Amino acid sequence: MIKSLTNVMSNRMIWNAYFAYVESRLRYGIIFWGGDRKSIQLFRLQKKVIRLITGTHKCTSCRPIFTKFKILTLTSLYILEILCFLKKYKGDMKHNSEIHGHNTRRKQDLHIQQYNTALYEKSVINMGIKLYNKLPI
């Protein structure tokens, strides 16, 4: 679709089509499938579409293109959606200071529960807490 639009529409309209069609589908449910290994294939497709829109060669790095046009990569979209989800439900989470009374430098961080399975390790809540704790105060 994007390839056929490049000859007919203006560049601005093509970017609107990208955000409406491609990025909206990438964002849908990304907090559940974004940490999966198969998301690399979707990232490659995202880069392919970006190269089609900008008319660059397939071997050219997309990093400057993402920066120039202020587009979030698939990984960045995943991190953004996870942190927005966690911000919404942050009141339900416990801080380390509520778990123990020790005066540590990480007492204001959200508490990460112990897990025994890889499924919980990659869960939305656990990944969100890890990412949230890495943010500066």
Q: Residue 109 above 90 pLDDT?
A: no
The total number of structural domains in the chain stands at 2
Please tell me whether residues 40 and 17 are part of one structural domain. Answer: yes
Please tell me whether residues 61 and 120 are part of one structural domain. Answer: no
Please tell me whether residues 107 and 51 are part of one structural domain. Answer: no
pTM to 2 decimals? 0.79
Please tell me whether residues 40 and 97 are part of one structural domain. Answer: no
Region 125-130 average pLDDT: 83
Please tell me whether residues 118 and 64 are part of one structural domain. Answer: no
Query: Residues in the chain, how many?
Result: 137
Please tell me whether residues 75 and 98 are part of one structural domain. Answer: no
Q: What is the CA radius of gyration of the chain?
A: 19
Question: Which candidate, 92, 133, 91, places its Cα nearest to that of 112?
Answer: 133
State the Cα–Cα distance between residues 134 and 72, nearest whole angstrom: 19
Q: What is the pLDDT of residue 12?
A: 86
More confident residue, 126 or 41: 41
Residue-averaged pLDDT of the chain: 85
Among the candidates 80, 106, 121, a domain finishes at 80
Please tell me whether residues 33 and 73 are part of one structural domain. Answer: yes
Q: What is the pLDDT of residue 32?
A: 85
Please tell me whether residues 106 and 71 are part of one structural domain. Answer: no
Report the percentage of the chain scoring pLDDT > 90. 31
Q: What is the pLDDT of residue 125?
A: 81
Please tell me whether residues 10 and 69 are part of one structural domain. Answer: yes
Burial class (CB in 10 A: 0-12, 13-18, 19+), 82: buried
Quote the domain boundaries for residue 121: 89-134
